Structure 1
């Protein structure tokens, strides 16, 4: 096998066995190989996301999407979007998901739609349970406490 194929195999093995730090390192090396930029970046995004190193994961995911959105691991995109949204970075989450939402691959689009929905729910204003009660009308006694 070529150096690129061997590097790709080692990277995938590290990802499979959840050796995230090593996978990130190998992924970045892979992204510098001729013809493997997108593959390396998408794997780096996955590894950094698993390590909860979201700024690096986001940078790698954006670069992978710029290269070829189909290469970005769908679970990575979903994880990242939710992580970004939970940190109140909905715009970054939306920007990351935009090319995936336009994909021709129905599976990729479905995962991106689910991630988008989750991200939006995470950014929705909190609902006060008192707002869910029936409204008070005169004649019902004292109004409910606010």
Structure 2
């Protein structure tokens, strides 16, 4: 690969930073995870129109909600079944966007996780490239 191509925010870190890893099928897993997070959140993964910087990077914002076991505050959640499906999609996506390609699941494993039970899924480590550790309810920082 001579030139990196793709949409900013969906490109795996190893595409633009070779010391993270090599470009492989795991790069596509990263892009898939970001796409699913955007679908679940109903917004792009970066929202520059918010005042609170912790809400700018959606994967960080949703990770903090999951980590603190807070209400997801997402639209179109009608009942507990929807809530469970969305939580499963978020957890799987967070595994997909791990910075280190070796920490990401294969697409075969992604399908298994999506078909499985949400209770069997662990919260993944926070992606290295995420925003600094601040509360999602903290005051705006500029």
Q: Same fold (TM over 0.5)?
A: no
Q: Which has the larger radius of gyration?
A: 1
The two structures have a TM-score, normalised by structure 2, of: 0.24
Kindly indicate which of the two structures has a greater share of residues assigned to helix.
Answer: 1
The two structures have a TM-score, normalised by structure 1, of: 0.23
Greater RCO structure (CA 8 Å; 6+ sep): 2
